[in-house]
Amino acid sequence: MTRLTWWLFGLVWIGSSALHAQGLLDELNAVTEEPTLPVRATFKDTRIVNVQSNETPAEGVLHFVIAHRFGTLSSGAYDLWGLDNAQMRMAFDYGLTDGLAVGVARNTYQKTYEANVKARLLRQKTGPEAFPLSVTWYSVAMANGTRVAPEETPYPFTRRLSYVHQAVVARKMSERWSLALVPSFVHRNFVQESGEAHDLALLGVGGRCKLGPRFSVNGEYHHFLTESFGDAFSPSLSLGVDIETGGHVFQLHITNARGMFERSFLAEPAGSWANGDLYFGFNLSRVFTVKS
Partner 1 sequence: MNLMKTPLFGSLLALLMMGFAPDAGAQQFMTREGHVHFFSSTPIEDIEADNRQMSGLLDASTGDFVFQVQMRAFHFEKALMEEHFNESYVESETHPKATFQGSIASWENIPNDGMRHDVVAEGEFDIHGVTQPQRIEGTMQWMDGAWNLQANFEVTLADHNIVIPAVVKDNISPVIAIDVEAQLMPR
Q: Which one, 35 or 276, has the nearer CB to partner 1?
A: 35
Q: Which one, 46 or 238, has the nearer CB to partner 1?
A: 46
CB of 240 to partner 1, least distance (A): 18
Q: Which stretch binds partner 1 (CB under 8 A): 190-198, 242-250, 261-269, 274-282?
A: 242-250
Site for partner 1, residues 48 to 67, rule: CB under 8 A: 57-59, 61
Q: What is the C-alpha to C-alpha distance for residues 66 and 195, in angstroms, rounded to an integer?
A: 37
CB of 3 to partner 1, least distance (A): 9
CA torsion through residues 215, 169, 120, 100, sign: positive
Q: Which one, 16 or 226, has the nearer CB to partner 1?
A: 16
Q: Which one, 198 or 214, has the nearer CB to partner 1?
A: 214
Q: What mask of x and - would describe binding to partner 1 in positions 1 to 40, judged by CB under 8 A?
A: xx-xx--xx--xx--x---xx--xx-xxx-xx-xx-x--x
Which amino acid, 55?
A: E
CB of 161 to partner 1, least distance (A): 33
Q: Is residue 93 exposed (0-12), middle (13-18) or buried (19+ Cβ within 10 Å)?
A: buried
Instruction: State yes or no: residue 205 binds partner 1 (CB under 8 A).
Output: no
Cα 212 from chain centre: 18
Q: What mask of x and - would describe binding to partner 1 in positions 144 to 183, judged by CB under 8 A?
A: ------------------------------xx--------
Q: Which one, 24 or 274, has the nearer CB to partner 1?
A: 24
Q: Which one, 65 or 260, has the nearer CB to partner 1?
A: 65
End-to-end CA distance of the chain: 71
Q: Which stretch binds partner 1 (CB under 8 A): 69-77, 110-118, 199-207, 284-292?
A: 284-292
Chain positions contacting partner 1, by CB under 8 A:
1-2, 4-5, 8-9, 12-13, 16, 20-21, 24-25, 27-29, 31-32, 34-35, 37, 40-41, 57-59, 61, 98, 174-175, 213-214, 244-247, 287, 289, 292
